[in-house]
Amino acid sequence: MATLSLRMRDDLKAKAQQLASEQGVSLNSYINATLAATIAQSETLAMMGEQLANIDQGKLHDRVMKFMSKSRSGTEPTPDEIEKAMLKR
């Protein structure tokens, strides 16, 4: 594992420390997780861009709209309902 010396504005560090604390992790863990998520997002967007480069955008739009027209709205579960469902697993 590499060691990195990082310069960061004081206000940014304070905000990052607060977010890390709220999540119950160290600043180091928070920065690692945030960076990993950013890289994963970037790689996913690049991969999707490559996959969609040769796709007919009109046909894709039509397929998405057809799918969306079949979806039905409903009520969102309450936090208690989610917890009960998790406990059943």
Q: How far apart are CA 57 and CA 45, in angstroms?
A: 16
Quote the pTM value: 0.59
| Residue 20: closest CA among 38, 34, 4 | 34
Confidence class for position 59, pLDDT limits 50, 70, 90: very high
Q: Per-residue pLDDT for 88 more than 90? A: no
Q: What is the pLDDT of residue 76?
A: 87
Domain ranges of the chain: 10-69
Which 8-state DSSP code applies to residue 25?
A: -
